[in-house]
Amino acid sequence: MSDIQLVNLVKSYGEMQAVKKISLHIKEGEFFSLLGPSGCGKSTTLRMIAGFVMPSAGRILIGSDEVTHLPPEKRDIGIVFQNYAIFPHMSVAENIAFGLKLRKKSQAEIEITVTSALRQVGLVGYEDRYQRQLSGGEQQRVALARVLVTKPRILLLDEPLSALDKALREEMKYWIKELQRTLGITTVYVTHDQDEALTMSDRIGVMQKGRLEQVGSPEDIYERPETLFVTTFIGHSNVINVTVKGRDNGKTVVSFGANTILARALEGEVAPGSAAKLVVRPENVVIGRTGEGLPATVLTENYQGALVRYRLSLGEQEIVVERQNQSNVSRFAPGEEVGVSWDPERSEVLVA
């Protein structure tokens, strides 16, 4: 088995705790992303799994093996970093063969393995090139191939695409996901890019200030955020200040200004009168004529090609609405009075 268990994992640097008691079970074959802003402890967590950073407390298990105090080379992991670390004085083939030579494999075996790795990463014909003759994306493919030939139990990737330009990042994220799926290798992927995490992952762990805020599938994280931090870090959210009124038919009743509306049920009991935040994604708000929903006024309209983005005033507050720019969809002008609505199940009440 090559699942990974982190048990109450802590890393302190003096007074500062970079990682605060993280417990997590990453399943065999899973593509798991650690997502969060700069400094939240993603790389520190990954480096503890790799063995480059020793935990201050807690345990790490890979399969049934306790690896907490093992050096990196005894953990059977492959790691790729942000800055492609391929050797400039070696050709692509020599770079990929490097780990195999260290392991004293026969020349025949090395040749077969390197050829198959080149095929896996789509670099057949590139074997004699050097770093300076490769694009950033190709260098990252070499770095991956070099790791994969050693057949690690788990693959650890620390922002491997962040040095690439946007177009290449787009292409590489699908490519890496596809490769991972084909190989079925347990993978931990560190990124601060929500799009990468949402597109590539089976599950995401959102981190903030050394803690795991929420763990779930991309849909869970995007559609059912459990904290205000998660909802604002992943995509744009409208956050409306509301007062909780009570329950109605398995929904939560909230009010703001003169409006009383329903939202997805809160878990647990919340005292009526409590202040809360109502969270609605811009793409879930429907704009209609006056009377079709809550009264609102268009403040601005922004044409963005595939999307049109509106800023509206809704009572005392402002919300953002995004609509697909389809030919049969009417547009609204600044100053226009409109009605807005959304499916209650697509709105979340978060109590601070």
- Interacting residues toward ligand ATP by CB under 6 A: 13, 18, 36, 38-44, 192
Instruction: Tell me if 186 contacts Mg ion by CB under 5 A.
Output: no
Rounded to a whole number of angstroms, the minimum distance from the CB of residue 303 to ligand ATP is 33
Task: State how beta strands 251-256 and 238-248 pair.
Answer: antiparallel
Which residue type occupies 258? A
Residues 5-44 that bind Mg ion (CB under 5 A): 43
Interaction pattern, residues 38-77, with Mg ion; x per rule: CB under 5 A: -----x----------------------------------
Tokens of 96: 């990929």
Q: How many Å apart are CA 352 and CA 342, to the nearest integer?
A: 22
Which of Mg ion, ligand ATP, none does residue 13 bind (CB under 5 to 8 Å by kind)? ligand ATP
Nearer to ligand ATP among residue 38 and residue 64 (C-beta): 38
Nearest distance from C-beta of residue 187 to Mg ion, angstroms:
17
| Side-by-side strand order, sheet with 317-324 | 286-288, 337-341, 294-303, 307-314, 317-324
Q: Which is nearer to ligand ATP, 209 or 346 (CB)?
A: 209
Of the pair 20, 129, the CB lying nearest ligand ATP is at 20
39 or 257, CB closer to ligand ATP?
A: 39
* Residue 38 or 64 with smaller CB distance to Mg ion: 38
Residue 95 parent element (H or E): helix 92-102
Interaction partner, residue 39 (ligand ATP, Mg ion, none; CB < 5-8 Å by kind): ligand ATP
Give 193 or 336: the residue with its C-beta nearer to ligand ATP: 193
d(CA 22, CA 297): 45
Go through 192-231 and write b for each residue having 16 or more CB atoms within 10 A of its CB, e for each that does not.
bbbebbbebbbbbbbbbebbbbbbbebeebbbebbebbbb
Our finding on whether 180 is near Mg ion (CB under 5 A) is no
Q: What is the distance, to the nearest Å, from the Cα of residue 167 to the centroid of all Cα atoms in its chain?
A: 18
Q: How far apart are CB 37 and ligand ATP at their closest, in Å?
A: 7
What, of Mg ion, ligand ATP, none, does residue 38 touch, CB below 5 to 8 Å by kind?
Answer: ligand ATP
Q: Which two tokens stand for residue 351?
A: 């109590």
Cβ–Cβ under 8 Å, residues 40 and 230: no
- Tell me: does residue 191 bind Mg ion (CB under 5 A): no
Tell the smallest beta-carbon distance from residue 215 to ligand ATP (Å).
16
By beta-carbon proximity to ligand ATP, the closer residue of 32 and 256 is 32
SS3 63: coil
CB of 13 to ligand ATP, least distance (A): 4
132: DSSP letter:
G
Least separation in angstroms between residue 342's CB and ligand ATP is 33
Q: How many CB atoms lie within 10 A of CB 4?
A: 24
Indicate the DSSP class of residue 112. H
Task: State the minimum distance, in angstroms, from the CB of residue 299 to ligand ATP.
Answer: 34
Report the Cα–Cα distance between both ends of the chain, in Å, rounded: 40
- Interface residues toward Mg ion, by CB under 5 A: 43
